[in-house]
Amino acid sequence: MAQEGELEALARGEKGAWEAFVRRYAGLVVAAVRGIARETTEVEDLVQEVFLRLCRDDFRLLRSYDPTRAQLSTWVTIIARSTARDALRRHRPVVVPIEAVPEGQLAVDPVEPVRPLKLPEALLSPRQREILTMLYDREMEVAEVATTLGIDRQTVRSAHHKAMVKLRAHFKAGAKP
């Protein structure tokens, strides 16, 4: 723990006292900031911000340290974390509401397959093929497919699931050398 004389020397701006303080608490400050920073590149800047904050305005913050309330290491850790959080909040990217973005910037060109997929005829049942066509090519909802085919919604979901399992297995097997 720093002695009162060391804190007074810091407050007076004595270079040797400041260098000793930085050496003593730099590791602690780095560890506190590293727990807050999202990227390792931010750590150095945030550590520097902490030490700048401590000596800013003629060491005003450092003069406010009260040894009866906490150890200096605890107090420095709290200062480091709060400084890092404040700095990160100030540098957050500006979020633009989606309503303010021109529609042309949101448009995405439709992606068409380069070539149609050729599936073995026996891979899917006729009902599974029909359900997949209705769901994906015609972009129908499950309820619409069920009504059109005169079957239960759960039957549509089940047939869709079974077809997808078969397709995944088929393409997974085809991807192996």
Q: Which domains does the chain have, with CATH numbers?
A: 4-90 (1.10.1740.10), 119-175 (1.10.10.10)
> What is the reported pTM?
0.48
Q: Which two tokens stand for residue 1?
A: 């723990």
Nearest 5°: phi and psi at 2?
-75, 140
Please give the pLDDT value at position 127: 94
pLDDT per residue rounded down to tens, the chain (177 residues): 445 677 778 777 788 888 888 898 889 999 988 888 767 778 888 888 888 888 888 788 888 888 888 888 899 999 999 988 888 777 766 667 777 777 777 777 776 666 766 778 889 999 999 999 999 888 899 999 999 999 999 999 999 999 999 998 888 876 655
DSSP characters over 3-51: -HHHHHHHHTT-HHHHHHHHHHHHHHHHHHHHTT-SSHHHHHHHHHHHH
Q: Which two tokens stand for residue 45?
A: 């800047």
